[in-house]
Amino acid sequence: MQNIPQNLPDFLIEYINKDVTQLALTQKFPLEWLQQLSARQKAIEKLPTWAKNPHIKYQKLALEQCSSEITASYKAFLLQNCIFPRNKANETNQNSEKMADLTGGFGVDTYFFAQYFDKVFHVEMQTELQSIVKENFEQLGIKNNKNIDFFEGKDTDFLDFFQKNYLKNSEKMLYCLYLDPHRREGNQKSNTGQKVFKLEDCQPNILGNLEEYFKVSEIILVKVAPFLDILQGLKLLKYVFQCYIVSVDKELKEILYFLKKPNKENTENNGFLPENVPIFVVDLDKNELLKENFVFQFTISEENQTKIPNFSLPKKYLYEPHACMMKAGAFKAFAERYNLEKLHQNTHLYTSDFLLLGIPAKVFEVIETLPYQKKAVQDFLQGEKVEITVRNLKENPQEVQKKLGIVKTGGKKQLFACTNLHNKPQILVCERV
């Protein structure tokens, strides 16, 4: 008979690969243990450093909302090395090495910021959550939270605290403020059923507090969910000087806006015009911290000024831009940069006679072009399974599948249902290169 673990860490070690639902049915284990096991299983991929330690405690919502290790380490790296690179050997005033995470949460971003800065403030309203973070940091080897200070309260409470206790003592401002706002209410959806993200619906109230933030820091980093429209963010935040669209292993994760305190020089030089802001589209490797699979840089001005690409019927190869590229909206710049033709103005698929690898897109070989007709597709596929992608058609994939009589999906072949340059629907049967 199997012995039941006597404590939570032993339970988490022994049952890490077990089905939590099945364990719940046995009614042998406390609910808290099962909740911690479920959280640890989710953390294995998102927070492997945390998941390795069975003494780490989790809070469900905080775990869901926090950055992954991959994206958190990248943000910290960008701040230290890319935005305003600094030589610490020549730094004489360590006050400029302070920063504050105004939405501390589960502490993942704070943890990685602390690897680059002399002091990081973890600001959090929830007493219980901040207590968990303190204990977890001890477990992760940050003894006595050496360069992390904890502040319990709202973002505006911290601003008052810092001004009274630091700025009035002639210390320099913070190097950076970091904010990761969350929607006040449940997920909102547009008329099309897609999630929407509005800064004005979030807390902290970034838009209302921008001027207050700049009283204590010259740099502000704002992370938002990928549902926010890029241009809308540039306009609302006003003082953005760089924007990053970040994906991990081709999955879109977050948008980063770097803001700089306005002054005479950068405002007179139109430094904050949305169309002039450098936008970096980055895909990170899921298996190695700080490894960039690709970086695509452009500006909205460049996209607007780029000529409309040539339109063409499908050639030998087809290119489907990754989700982060689609989010960027650099459809003309993408075609020009890689010398590609496009299937239609609103069909964001590209084509060429030559094979082009190493670009931010899935690459396919076009096996056959068919009319958007059930018989033609059935005759060609002969019951073979295919994956279905829809571009610039009224129907969704499920409706296309039903209309074409495709029973099974999957397999090696990819079926694109799209609109061609003659405004006619067509079917492209492809195989991934």
Of the candidates 96, 102, 223, 215, the residue with the CA atom closest to the CA atom of residue 158: 102
Is pLDDT of 68 > 90?
Answer: yes
Q: How high is the pLDDT of residue 204?
A: 92
Q: How high is the pLDDT of residue 169?
A: 74
On whether the CB atoms of residues 162 and 156 are closer than 8 A, the answer is: no
**Confidence class for position 187, pLDDT limits 50, 70, 90:** very low
CA distance 219 to 201: 23
Is pLDDT of 206 > 90?
Answer: yes
Q: How high is the pLDDT of residue 227?
A: 86
Q: Are strands 202-203 and 425-432 parallel, antiparallel or unpaired?
A: unpaired
Question: What CATH code would you report for 73-300?
Answer: 3.40.50.150
Q: What is the DSSP string of 409-422?
A: B-SSEEEEEEE-TT
Query: For 349-354, what is the mean pLDDT?
Result: 97
Q: How high is the pLDDT of residue 2?
A: 60
Q: How high is the pLDDT of residue 1?
A: 43
**Confidence class for position 6, pLDDT limits 50, 70, 90:** confident
- pTM, two decimal places: 0.89
Q: How high is the pLDDT of residue 272?
A: 79
